[in-house]
Structure 1
């Protein structure tokens, strides 16, 4: 290649960038291909062509161009990361991970490398490792809105939407209205709020995203339509992700707030009711939604074996510190009930069902988990309006007494005890609630 080639190469690059500015991708691709032909080892031309092909979804071709750019400039890790991104887009996560690992070994402070590592590890099911890389990327580039949206995507998909919302909120508040990264970040922020059952905040983000990007590359209109449909049909309830985030953040002050500010007494009331039905002792007990273990304190004297499960890992940590439980783990209560059929003499649910709407599924699950003759003891907040249940402003469900009875009948559970109680106080007044104890038939229930 002679020196005469450089002016022609530079001219082709100028043509390519002008075509990209004019959104003429065909002309841009032709100019970049000509530039590559003139200088095959020119990393800039290879990288620009790779970026164009990647936007078009031509991941294999784009990866080839990024690989050539990386070979021409091996000291620049971004080319290898771009190649890895193409491999990940094409579904080859193993090859992508090999490139990302090598890039991070050379430059451990590369935020883009950590973002891609987080994405790949999440795809492999390594959630905790993915979150560690996502948080490192956030630390390394705290003011990068585009990168923050990518980190936020990992956080939401890994089950930590609250962290995503808290990260994006101040960045979006200070973002320039014309920032090209703003629309995508708003879509992601809306997804985080939706996962936290904050429908109004989600809708506001998606409306703003549509204003910022009328072409709607991020799909805000589709998300808005789905949210509106769920709201119209009453399906926009509390998600497990919302409940987990709520109690993970609340765990450290949970006992103090409940017992002192809210006068929480559901566990004590349940124990008193269990004593009235002569439940006995030496029981295998499952405390679902165990929280920090306040229910375990009450039923421990009745238990031969006491297990506790909660959606919040932080709550489980606090419960473990009490030294009461023979087994503790964090999981969804439906999965925990299904884990061991006909295993429990007593299933306890103190102030847990307020985070569920329809009680029929959990009553069925409890019946399946109980031994014949076993008991399901729980509290709910009582609903006296229209319908079987309602989501209150407190973000807790209240249930009509008839709904409780209907769910029990449907699950083949007999009512041993049903009484009005005040399981807690709110805004200076006792909450109207119900306490019930249901027994599985000795013939096997439903």
Structure 2
């Protein structure tokens, strides 16, 4: 007798049972596509079968896992969300199905709905580390950093030996300016799990944030030894630190920070941080009278937000940034005539008397000593060329510049003027501004335009 469950005359309950068995056999055989097909056939027999919808969602979560195409991945998560949604409609009592639904919605970009579902689940199942971790991710995606941090802490408290939850909490701590807490969280876990390269890598990045290059190198080298294919991308940071970077806010730290931040950079910066530096700079340049057709270099271009503002003035627009992933995001905008990965001073040193306008929107906050960038700008500008930038403002009585708790430098107005004068540049404009917010409060800033 044939074992094919599709054979005619098979009772519906037996057919569904046989299809379920085939589906789970395919899942165990690492064939999620075959499993999804079996579960879909079960649903063709009984569309009101909640468990079949949930099983189809589980199979969809694994199908196409190897794809790197963002559209394919997003569609996979949206298919999961639809399947879980059907299951929950049929049986809203299953909190595991609701958890799967909320997670799938988060992954396919339905953040507001996901946050609401996770909030309900967290009220019902406060003892579930899986729920608290999912809630933290949703809150983070929605821009609620402090609430997300609290949920990450709950997830780690419920599951203290889970590297995934600890790593995400450490990342959130470092982003909040508390890299020391990230180190203190991860070091005991790395001793319990000494062969996990992700823990040593994350500890290394946290030490970089704390300007402890030797400690960072020790941790990153350990991660490299455990990850010889460099899947974590630590090689560049090791090379930078071995070359002597790290006494300041090192290039290694800035590169690692923004590579991790690239995917959510625009949403966070324009949303919760109220980032306005590009528009403020463009308005200031216009006030001084700017013609079109300029050769413009966007220093620390990030994802290209300043490129959006300055493209109308540019006959040729170039951008440079330390973070390869940020440059990839900028390239997607199709605004720039040339993009490169590298240091801003090195980019300025490449060609003398080349640029009509240099733009640095919220970039100099990652540099303490501004003398090298002013000197390089003076050489890179044509006669009459201008350098327009924002910095965070320090009081003149507090020294030339200071590193704040958010790991960003603030510079005194007197210091900025002195650096411009020393480089032979004339200050055409210097005024207070608010380039962004921190925790809902405007950050005191300075906007300046200097001219060769």
Gaps in structure 1 of 5+ consecutive residues: 1-164, 210-226, 441-446
2: CA distance, partners of 1:267 / 1:186? 37
Mapped pair 1:436 → 2:448: yes
2: CA distance, partners of 1:315 / 1:187? 24
Q: Give the one of 207, 212, 218 matched to 1:199.
A: 212
Aligned counterpart, 2:281: 270
Aligned counterpart, 2:416: 404
The alpha-carbon distance between structure 1 residues 428 and 200, as it changes in their structure 2 partners (threshold 3 A), is: farther
Aligned counterpart, 2:364: 353
Q: Give the one of 155, 172, 191 matched to 1:173.
A: 191
Assess if the C-alpha contact under 8 Å between 1:266 and 1:351 holds in 2: yes
Q: How does 1:282-297 map to 2 (within 5 A)?
A: 282-297=293-308
What SS class does the counterpart of residue 346 from structure 2 fall into? helix
Counting matched residue pairs gives 244
Deviation track 1:362-406 (CA, whole Å, cap 9, x = no partner) reads: 100111110111000000000015210000000000000001000
Assess if the C-alpha contact under 8 Å between 2:303 and 2:326 holds in 1: yes
Q: Which has the larger radius of gyration?
A: 1
Mapped pair 1:421 → 2:439: no
Aligned counterpart, 1:91: none
1: CA distance, partners of 2:267 / 2:203? 33
Q: Give the one of 384, 392, 405 matched to 1:381.
A: 392
Assess if the C-alpha contact under 8 Å between 2:211 and 2:249 holds in 1: no
Q: How does 1:99-110 map to 2 (within 5 A)?
A: none
Aligned counterpart, 1:95: none
2: CA distance, partners of 1:261 / 1:189? 25
Aligned counterpart, 2:355: 344
What SS class does the counterpart of residue 305 from structure 1 fall into? strand
Assess if the C-alpha contact under 8 Å between 1:237 and 1:391 holds in 2: no
The alpha-carbon distance between structure 1 residues 198 and 189, as it changes in their structure 2 partners (threshold 3 A), is: farther
Assess if the C-alpha contact under 8 Å between 1:363 and 1:407 holds in 2: yes
Give 1:172 deviation, angstroms.
2.0
Assess if the C-alpha contact under 8 Å between 2:294 and 2:315 holds in 1: yes
Q: How does 1:15-34 map to 2 (within 5 A)?
A: none
Q: Give the one of 365, 374, 378 matched to 1:367.
A: 378
Aligned counterpart, 2:317: 306
What SS class does the counterpart of residue 374 from structure 2 fall into? helix
Q: How does 1:255-266 map to 2 (within 5 A)?
A: 255-266=266-277
1: CA distance, partners of 2:200 / 2:267? 37
2: CA distance, partners of 1:257 / 1:387? 31
2: CA distance, partners of 1:391 / 1:196? 12
What SS class does the counterpart of residue 271 from structure 2 fall into? helix
CA RMSD for the aligned pairs? Answer: 3.2
Assess if the C-alpha contact under 8 Å between 2:211 and 2:248 holds in 1: no
Give 1:173 deviation, angstroms.
3.4
1: CA distance, partners of 2:193 / 2:250? 30
Give 1:427 deviation, angstroms.
1.1
1: CA distance, partners of 2:207 / 2:411? 24
Aligned counterpart, 2:13: none
The alpha-carbon distance between structure 1 residues 306 and 265, as it changes in their structure 2 partners (threshold 3 A), is: same
Give 1:435 deviation, angstroms.
0.2
Give 1:193 deviation, angstroms.
4.3
What SS class does the counterpart of residue 403 from structure 1 fall into? helix
Give 1:308 deviation, angstroms.
0.5
Deviation track 1:227-286 (CA, whole Å, cap 9, x = no partner) reads: 9xx9xxxx8321000000010000011001000100000000000000110021110000
Q: How does 1:320-331 map to 2 (within 5 A)?
A: 320-331=331-342
1: CA distance, partners of 2:416 / 2:380? 18
Aligned counterpart, 1:216: none
Assess if the C-alpha contact under 8 Å between 2:430 and 2:449 holds in 1: yes
TM-score with structure 1 setting the length = 0.50
The alpha-carbon distance between structure 1 residues 175 and 300, as it changes in their structure 2 partners (threshold 3 A), is: closer
Assess if the C-alpha contact under 8 Å between 1:344 and 1:371 holds in 2: yes
2: CA distance, partners of 1:252 / 1:341? 34
What SS class does the counterpart of residue 261 from structure 1 fall into? coil
Q: Give the one of 253, 256, 261 matched to 1:245.
A: 256
